[in-house]
Amino acid sequence: MSTNYKYGLSVYGIPLPCGGDEALTFGTRYFVDGTNGNDDNLGKTPNTAFATIQRAINVQTADTTGLGDVIYVFPGVYAEGLTGTLTKVSLIAVGGNWGNGPNAVVVYPASASPLAEITTNQAQISNFTFVSPSTSTTLPAAHFANMRWTTFSNNALIGGSAACITGLQIGNETGVATAANCDFNRISNNYIGTVFGATYEFENGIKIGRVAYDAGASVKHCHSTIIDNNNIFASTYGIYLGVYGGSSNGTIIQGNKITSWENTAPAGVTTAAIAAYASNFAMVVGNYCAQTNASAAITGFEAGNVIGNKTTQNAVGKNEAAIA
């Protein structure tokens, strides 16, 4: 427990307001405790916490107040497939570990994506472990229908079954005739892979839109999104940017480390570490990629915008500077 001039006691390092105008600045704080909470509670203090994350998502009103609500989730395993819209909401897992460690905050539903077609606008999601369901190989660990002005950071996305499809999916996974926005986001410092064994890594680490061309199911555009410093273990694609007929102006893919599961031989993705479909003006800079075939590890980007990446192709090291 600690104190300072503005706040009273803290729980898990979260300062609790003791009066004054904090609510005018920070909006409403909600608390979720899967062990001791109850969805009939008010959810506004640790002692009156909700039991489920979905309850907190449903009751927050940041989209109407504009103040910016925060949902704090205490350690535990939450068997929920989260849905809905997060506008001006921070969803923060409070704990000291990820994966299956003590104090981890794990979202692991039985038969749905942990984040199931969530829409975000001016949001933050941090410090969670999202595990794709063990009953399906087709559901992503995290699926955003639209993502705008959002920070998705310091999360672990884990495969729950063999040949699980995708870690982070933005836009449509299948041929639904709608298009998604992926604008002004920061996807940073996430671990995408497995803690359960080599056969549980994803086919695709981060996928925006679809790999297969489908104009109706593609993203509209991917403007000014930073994808950086993620550690990705995937069997087919590490990062795929599917902007069909749209634009990726200002998007930067930087400092990511991509391979297949480290205990397999040879290590590396089978198709491309970083790929795009007709990307416009995206930068691919300083990534480290491993691939099990002799073709280019970085494909689909404009010549001159692929700078200073280090790759291996069939264990042959290269410095990839401009792969169009």
Q: How many CA atoms lie within 13 A of 180 on its CB side?
A: 32
Whole domain around residue 163: which residue ranges? 108-320
Q: How many CB atoms lie within 10 A of CB 72?
A: 21
Rounded Cα distance between 49 and 188, Å, is 29
Q: Read off the pLDDT of residues 261-306 as tens digits, 9 standing for 90 and up.
A: 755 555 788 899 999 886 778 999 999 998 888 788 898 888 788 9
DSSP 3-state of 46: helix
Contact 162, 202 (CB under 8 A): no
Tokens representing 234 are 């995937």
Rounded Cα distance between 193 and 177, Å, is 29
Rounded Cα distance between 222 and 295, Å, is 26
Residue 48 lies in a domain: no
Contact 107, 132 (CB under 8 A): no
Residue 57 lies in a domain: no
Residue 102 lies in a domain: no
DSSP 58: H
Tokens 């904090």, residue located: 22
Per-residue pLDDT at 237: 93
Q: Which of 149, 147, 210 is nearest to 177 (CA)?
A: 210
Strand partners, 226: 186, 252
Residue 54 lies in a domain: no
Residue 81 lies in a domain: no
Q: Read off the pLDDT of residues 27-49 as tens digits, 9 standing for 90 and up.
A: 899 999 999 999 999 999 999 99
DSSP 239-288: EEE--SSS--TT-EEES-EEES-TTSSS-SBSSEEEEESS--S-EEES-E
Tens of each residue's pLDDT in the chain, 324 residues = 333 323 334 555 555 544 443 433 468 999 999 999 999 999 999 999 999 999 999 999 887 777 789 999 999 999 999 999 999 999 999 987 777 788 999 999 999 999 999 999 999 999 999 999 888 778 899 999 999 999 999 999 998 777 688 999 998 766 554 667 889 999 999 999 876 555 678 889 999 887 766 555 556 678 899 999 999 999 899 999 887 666 788 999 999 999 987 555 557 888 999 998 867 789 999 999 988 887 888 988 887 889 889 888 876 776 655 443
DSSP 3-state of 62: helix
Residue 5 lies in a domain: no
Contact 237, 204 (CB under 8 A): yes
Rounded Cα distance between 55 and 39, Å, is 7
The 10 Å CB-count burial string (b at 16+, else e) for 183-203 is: bbbbbbebbbbbebeeebbbb
Contact 309, 288 (CB under 8 A): yes
Rounded Cα distance between 126 and 12, Å, is 15
Number of domains observed in the structure of the chain: 1
Tokens representing 138 are 């087709």
Rounded Cα distance between 119 and 228, Å, is 21
Torsion, CA 211, CA 214, CA 215, CA 220, rounded to 10: -30
Residue 309 lies in a domain: yes
